[in-house]
Structure 1
């Protein structure tokens, strides 16, 4: 593969893998017995099995949303040591709420493209079974004054608010959720999927959660989740006095992302890394962006996507695959409308409504899934984007190298 000279300062993707997404259950999910450092450590071992010369890795960057308990104390370095990688390989953690996994990938790409590193492993992990969301008791959620200043409400209230502002109906949300389950059930197994093991036994080798009985009639009967949170809606009214409030709420268990455990990892390197790794890159990072809007709105993915597309030098019409995290059914519907996307190219293998959102792991999951789908379609460009609380969003555009 001849890479043009003007792109040689770019960051390239040499491999991308993920664990199956496991549902979080009250009585203990499939992966609840495995600590998060082992979940990510198993991916490090898998990269080595897939012929990564680990002694060449300059750093390991892990995205985690809830950096607390077993996910605190520099989990990246702990996972490196658990995996038996050389003691000389450092590791660190980045956290940007639900965007943490994409942030890790963007951080690795920036270091590689700038010449600060040659080869970085980046991804994310979240064991929601063992470290529940908000287990770190962040000030945004526990300090009333800061919550008022930031406009923090649970992200479900933000999703209902944004759907109401955008004119997206309960019927549209329910229909999208059914489609997510149908697509997840029909999704082919990708080359990126790594079975989770406990000793020699395989604990999980496929995503959990997709329901063959998902249907509109059943979803229409589900109660809304966030419509009666009076304190949150009062904060919304003070923060955004002109914003409409849905009369009875909009999102339900069907149109909210399932909680999940998971991990993801990618090998990011510069042009020169090809000779050292003994393989050619499979894709390049073409554009990245972070964006924010006034919280508690969740409209930032559109801004992040447009900025990343601009930096990649392409338009939405050039995209073959779009992987937008289903942070409630609102998000893919709104992005599809705002960018004029072909719905058939948006989350063609389903998403978090069906198979879960393991927070920090999701960015790397989207990357691995998009690369598998680009290969199946013989496509070139994919967009990845995730919204987060406090009005945040991240986006990455990748270009497959054929």
Structure 2
């Protein structure tokens, strides 16, 4: 069977809510990374057989197949098709998985995968009324930036709690203290700030013209456990999940160039050797990556003893710490060695491309190794990919 390799991976710096990238449409963010990746590799875009892009929202300017519009705005020929996929927070991991399957099955030689999200620009929406001009009653307006909306009342109530409430539930069930969560968040900010200062992200960053950022906008210098201890719990009266140990609302895009082996696209970064998905009860979503990664490693013919490092999306500190507990054979210090989403940010559709792309770039920097990229998903799912160089 044909192998899938990653030839390049890029992303924008991630902007914070109402921050530097909030004035940029999501399709323009997508076009930025798509255009950059073909320019960097010298790839003739006419050779791309599909653009597969993740996008979790799709309620605003990204509502009509943002993958196709991103490709058109990037100047690709109209012969280059595009499809948008939605697996919520793991949408761009799903894009990479679908692209790798297409290559391994022989359906394509070159796929551009990735994802985008502008949570700042996500619109407010209102359901249609049953009558064209209702005489009485009010309509609920929903904020589409994040979270449940228009939920089917047939679902069990305990399943439709907020992601933050689920993070609280996991903290309690897995005995994860407020102090441990805050310390993990501080670690994320410190490692991300150091990585940017040391150039660890230089190989993958492309700027949005006119909206340049020196680094990911959410990284906070001087964050400490003492400072975070002063923040109030958000989801329970005596809870432990705060704004300081949760990921934020962000904007950004990522792209990963996938192809079969031995193409004229330069030295590959890494090879995709395993994939895994796992589902749990929706209110248990933070721990779904545990079994997703275990499955991916088994399918790759590897064990945790073979893994050099992990890129785990940090939706919440409690979620990340629970996953680390669930992988007892993994060195916790090998997780997110250059910081994670608690500092970098979590623009939903783009985060999976970020963790896979950074894992591939880090494998190139090291020259060899095995990496796992794993991510939790609201409504109770997890995805993971194993990379090798």
1:61 to 49, 52, 64: 52
Matched, 1:34 2:34: no
Contact kept? 1:320, 1:374, Cα under 8 Å: no
* Counterpart residue number, 2:133: none
Structure 2 counterpart of 1:306, from 294, 301, 305: 294
- Find out whether 1:288 has 2:261 as its counterpart: no
| Deviation of 1:144 (Å) | 5.1
The alignment's TM-score, normalised by the length of structure 1, stands at 0.87
SS of 1:367 mapped into structure 2: helix
C-alpha displacement at 1:139, in angstroms? 11
Q: 1:373 to 1:162 in 2, by over 3 A?
A: same
Q: Say if 2:9 and 2:361, in contact at 8 Å, map to a contact too.
A: no
Distance across 1 between alignment mates of 2:314 and 2:75: 35
- Cα displacement (A) at 1:309: 0.6
2:206: which partner in 1?
194
Residue 249 (structure 1) aligns with:
239
Structure 2 alignment gaps of length 5 or more: 125-141
Question: Are 2:95 and 1:86 equivalent residues in the alignment?
Answer: no
2:311 is aligned to 323
CA 110–193 in structure 1, closer or farther in 2 if over 3 Å, else same: same
Is 1:373 equivalent to 2:382 in the alignment?
no
Partner-residue secondary structure (3-state), 2:223: coil
The answer to whether residue 343 in structure 2 is matched with residue 354 in structure 1 is yes
CA contact (8 A) 2:119 2:249 kept: yes
Matches within 5 A, 1:131-150: 131=122, 135-136=143-144, 141-143=149-151, 145-148=153-156
Q: Tell me, yes or no, if the aligned pair for 1:140 and 1:147 is still in contact at 8 Å.
A: no
The residue number in structure 2 matching 1:12 is 5
> 2:136 — aligned with what?
none
Q: Deviation of residue 390 (structure 1)?
A: 1.2
Change (3 A) 1:172 1:137: closer
Deviations 1:324-382 (A, max 9, x none): 00010022212222112212210011111112101010001001211232233334111
> Structure 1: which 5+ runs fail to align?
1-7, 229-247
Shift of 1:20: 0.6
Cα separation, 1, equivalents of 2:246 and 2:145: 22
How far the C-alpha of 1:280 sits from its partner, in A, is 3.8
> 1:147, CA displacement in angstroms?
4.0
Cα contact 1:40–1:263 (8 A) shared by 2:
yes
After superposition, the C-alpha distances for 1:243-296 in whole angstroms (9 at most, x for unaligned) are xxxxx111101101021111000111112xx33x34342211110111111120
Select 1:392's aligned residue among 381, 384, 387.
381
User: Which of 96, 99, 102 is the matching residue for 2:93?
Assistant: 102
Distance 1:217 1:267, change over 3 A: same
Q: CA deviation at 1:220?
A: 1.1
How many pairs align?
Answer: 365
Q: Please name the residue that 1:118 is paired with.
A: 109
Change (3 A) 1:135 1:290: farther
Following superposition of structure 1 onto structure 2, how do residues 144-293 of structure 1 map, counting pairs within 5 Å? 145-148=153-156, 151-187=159-195, 188-189=198-199, 190=201, 191-198=203-210, 203-228=212-237, 248-271=238-261, 274-275=262-263, 277-293=264-280
Structure 2 CA distance for aligned equivalents of residues 115 and 84 of structure 1: 26
- Partner-residue secondary structure (3-state), 1:101: helix
2:268 match: secondary structure: coil
CA distance in 1, matches of 2:282, 2:27: 32
Distance in 2, matches of 1:10 and 1:380, equals 17
Distance in 1 (CA, whole Å) between partners of 2:97 and 2:23 is: 31
SS at match of 1:70: coil
The DSSP-based 3-state class of the residue aligned with 1:167 is coil
Q: Is contact 2:270-2:363 (8 Å) kept?
A: no
User: How has the CA–CA distance of structure 1 residues 216 and 136 changed in structure 2, closer, same or farther, with 3 Å as cutoff?
Assistant: closer
**Within 1, Cα distance between the matches of 2:144 and 2:244?**
27
